[in-house]
Amino acid sequence: MAEGPGEASTLPITAKKKKSLSIEEKIDIINAVESGKKKAEIAAEYGIKKNSLSSIMKNKDKVLEAFESLRFDPKRKRLRTAFYTDLEEALMRWYRIAQCLNVPVNGPMLRLKANDFAQKLGHNDFKCSNGWLDRFKSRYGLVFRAQPVDPTAAPADPSVVWCQNVLPYYLSDYRPKNVFNIKETGLLYRMLPTNTFAFKGETCSVGKLCKDRVTLVVGANVDGSEKLPLLIIGKRRNPQCFTGIKSLPVHYEANRMAWMTADVFEQWMRKLDEKFQAEHRRVVVFVDSSPAHPEVTNLKSIELAFLPTCLSSKFIAMNQGVIKSLKIKYRHCLVKKFLSSVEGGKEFTFSLLDAVDTLHLCWRSVTPETILKSYEKAGFQSQKGDGDTSEAETDTGLDMVAHALAAGVEFPEGISIEEYAALDDDLKTCEAASNEEVAREGKSEESASYTSDEEEDRGAPGTELTLPSETEAVTALETLKRFLRSQAMNDVLHNSLADLENFINSLSSK
């Protein structure tokens, strides 16, 4: 029987299924396009449409970031993220570092660590179920296999493992300007060269000198473009020299030992976290493992990376020249102030407030080149390329002995500015393993050093501060303006003077 016109035999039409490409394939496509290959040929080779290729190139940065950071399995085809993104990132980072260190990881270990991270990150409603763990392993392409053990193999050097595997893994996630290292150092802020031999080798646990100590916390980023505000930890919350002072150019904390503690560290991290949140930045901060450096929960913009205890201090970038440069500059200023007092026939006074201002001034003058070289010495990749041969700054501008002799002051012979600046490097800066030990040492030091706050004040010259009036401030500013305008000033200084005058004028209108 013949078929009617409307009954012609037709085959069912099926829509062509869209081809999904893995992250690895997308990387190959991006490389092919950027090498100059024709887009039509690339699309035909991978069996995709031209508009699909255009979408890949449009999202190039996301694809490259996913591939380079190892956050996703290269065989995956979609970049979907989980609800607990911060937890998964922390867990995956822990897993990758365990791999680098040849630590075998299994499912129960991963589940235990996931619950641990959830608690630290404040996800109290999270429980690592079998289903969640399976989905996590699938998202990241994790397959647990027994690792063969070579009984003849020598144990890996932790330093080599850190530099070649662990450190690059962190650095792949962050731009150089968002990678920081912080480190504490002790500072005897009133110690003159005349005191150096008397206290050389002392731990400063007893005696008058320990009252003149602070702990200084220094931090900067890899490319040297940003120095964190200094954190200074003193012995007294409200020293007499701070009377009437409502703002300081540094962060200031205090406790009986003038040490970094877990509480001080957490408070400071939260302040920095607020700063980076306001700047819409995500940063990593490298710190050495210590009871005074705890995990800090619910940080939004800071990832803390703890240096393993098995590594030597040479991997702490601030120890490779930054702290030395700051201390040398500070000692220069201290000696100059002392000699100026001697030459003027005045009693030398130098308070904690003077120390704070001097440290702020010197910290601003530490150069990016010094910071860059310090990171390179610590094993961080150079950000200027292999061809850069610039040297870090050297501070040899003050011949202390000659200058002192000219002022009629005898300083110890044979001591260099570098030795003078390094004499307090070994001061203890962090709390002990337990609060009880801190309390015991605090009581011991208190009884050995001074009996009351009043006695400490009497032993610290220059602590009394008379605040100038507004009229005196205006007169001082006019004097400063006349002096600076007789010099070759740049626009920055002119603007700073105008800002100062506007600020003083605004006080009279309040």
Q: What Cα–Cα distance (Å) separates residue 37 from each residue in 43, 51, 419? A: 11, 16, 61
Q: What is the pLDDT of residue 414?
A: 66
Q: Band of the pLDDT at 13, cuts 50, 70, 90?
A: very low
Amino acid letter for position 185 = T
Q: What is the pLDDT of residue 107?
A: 79
Q: Which of 272, 374, 367 is nearest to 316 (CA)?
A: 374
C-alpha 374/C-alpha 483 separation (Å) is 37
Q: What is the pLDDT of residue 444?
A: 41
Q: What is the pLDDT of residue 138?
A: 80
Mean pLDDT of the chain: 77
Report the pLDDT averaged over residues 248-274.
Answer: 95
- What is the sign, positive or negative, of the torsion defined by CA atoms of 199, 203, 208, 213? positive
Q: What Cα–Cα distance (Å) separates residue 353 from each residue in 92, 257, 347, 473? A: 46, 19, 17, 18
Residue 283 has pLDDT above 90, yes or no: yes
Which region among 88-92, 246-250, 303-307, 432-436 has the lowest average model confidence (pLDDT)?
432-436
Residue 205 has pLDDT above 50, yes or no: no
Torsion angle of the four alpha carbons 261, 267, 269, 270, in this order, in degrees rounded to the nearest 10: 160
C-alpha 349/C-alpha 333 separation (Å) is 13
Residue 183 has pLDDT above 90, yes or no: yes
Q: Could you tell me the strand order of the sheet in which 283-288 lies?
A: 251-254, 231-234, 213-221, 179-188, 283-288, 302-307
User: What is residue 430's DSSP assignment?
Assistant: B
Q: What is the pLDDT of residue 311?
A: 79
Q: Which residue has the higher pLDDT, 316 or 470?
A: 316
Asked whether the beta carbons of 315 and 162 are under 8 A apart, the reply is yes
CB atoms within 10 A of CB 497: 16
Q: Which of 119, 112, 129, 228 is nearest to 180 (CA)?
A: 228
Q: What is the pLDDT of residue 400?
A: 59
Q: Band of the pLDDT at 343, cuts 50, 70, 90?
A: confident
Q: Band of the pLDDT at 510, cuts 50, 70, 90?
A: low
Q: Band of the pLDDT at 182, cuts 50, 70, 90?
A: very high
Which segment, 38-47, 170-179, 266-275, 459-468, is predicted with the most confidence on average? 266-275
Residue 274 has pLDDT above 60, yes or no: yes
Q: What is the pLDDT of residue 166?
A: 77
Asked whether the beta carbons of 257 and 445 are under 8 A apart, the reply is yes
Angle, to 10 degrees, between the axis of helix 23-34 and the axis of helix 50-58? 90
Q: What is the pLDDT of residue 440?
A: 47
What percentage of the chain reaches a pLDDT higher than 90? 27
C-alpha 443/C-alpha 459 separation (Å) is 19
Which region among 168-172, 259-263, 288-292 has the lowest average model confidence (pLDDT)?
168-172
Torsion angle of the four alpha carbons 437, 442, 443, 445, in this order, in degrees rounded to the nearest 10: 120
Per-residue pLDDT of 355-405, as tens digits, reads: 999 999 999 999 999 999 999 999 886 444 444 444 545 544 456 566 666
Per-residue pLDDT of 295-330, as tens digits, reads: 888 888 998 988 888 777 888 999 999 999 999 999
User: What is residue 398's DSSP assignment?
Assistant: -
Q: What is the pLDDT of residue 404?
A: 65
Residue 106 has pLDDT above 70, yes or no: yes
Report the pLDDT averaged over residues 91-109.
Answer: 77
Report the pLDDT averaged over residues 207-230.
Answer: 87
Element (H, E) at 177: none
Q: In residues, how long is the chain? A: 510
Q: Which residue has the higher pLDDT, 342 or 17?
A: 342
Q: What is the pLDDT of residue 389?
A: 42
Q: Which residue has the higher pLDDT, 111 or 377?
A: 377
Q: Which residue has the higher pLDDT, 175 or 60?
A: 175
Q: What is the pLDDT of residue 176?
A: 93
User: 358-372 as b/e, with b when 16 or more CB fall inside 10 Å?
Assistant: bbeebbeebebbbbb
Q: Band of the pLDDT at 499, cuts 50, 70, 90?
A: confident
Q: Is 4 helix (H, G, I), strand (E, B) or coil?
A: coil
Compute the half-sphere exposure of residue 340: CA atoms within 13 Å on the CB side of its CA: 8
C-alpha 307/C-alpha 422 separation (Å) is 24
Asked whether the beta carbons of 188 and 423 are under 8 A apart, the reply is yes
Q: Is 196 helix (H, G, I), strand (E, B) or coil?
A: helix
